[in-house]
Amino acid sequence: SSKIASLEVQSADDVAISEDCLEFSLAKTISKIEEKLERGGLPDCLDDDVLPSAENEIGAETQIRLLKAKLRVMQEELDSVVCECRKKDDENQNLKSQLKDAGEEKARLQRTISVQQSQIGKYKMLSQEADKKNEGLQQEVIALNKVL
């Protein structure tokens, strides 16, 4: 049970645990089951399909070994799920960072667009003024050509 407890500590250090589960200890649970077995009976929870019906006829020590083996498998599955959750958290953080960068880029591009649109308006006005001046100069050229 001390080996399992050390596995629990190693694998559960970085895992968020709800306050209800803070008192839960795998080693304590195993030792409670072992104590019940030593007192002369299997715990009540063994009837909930943890052990198939054919295995209920085997000895208590064999059942304990079987349960410990199942516990190790479940711990390995838990470790893999925890690892997968960490990977997903890392990926989530990466995507959040990319989203933040994209938002900043969008804001920068929108500022650039607004500056360029104001410049377009300014240049349109300058173009219209130049067109009016050009028309006036063309009229003056026509008048001077008539005079000549």
Q: How far apart are CA 46 and CA 35, in angstroms?
A: 14
Q: At what angle do helices 26-38 and 60-147 cross, to 10 degrees?
A: 160
Q: pLDDT for 128-137, tens place per residue?
A: 999 999 999 9
Q: Name the percent of the chain lying above pLDDT 70.
A: 68
Q: How far apart are CA 12 and CA 125, in angstroms?
A: 68
pLDDT category at 90 given cuts 50, 70, 90 is very high
Mean of all residue pLDDT scores within the chain: 79
Q: What is the mean pLDDT of residues 139-146?
A: 95
* DSSP type of residue 42: -
Residue 11: pLDDT above 60?
Answer: no
Query: How confident is the model at residue 135, as a pLDDT?
Result: 96
- Alpha helices in the chain, H assignment, sequence order: 2-12, 26-38, 60-147
| 66: number of Cβ within 10 Å | 15
Residue scoring higher pLDDT (116 or 49): 116
Q: How far apart are CA 30 and CA 140, in angstroms?
A: 106
pLDDT category at 122 given cuts 50, 70, 90 is very high
Query: How confident is the model at residue 73, as a pLDDT?
Result: 92
Residue 54: pLDDT above 70?
Answer: no
Tokens of 64: 């304990």
Query: How confident is the model at residue 25, as a pLDDT?
Result: 61
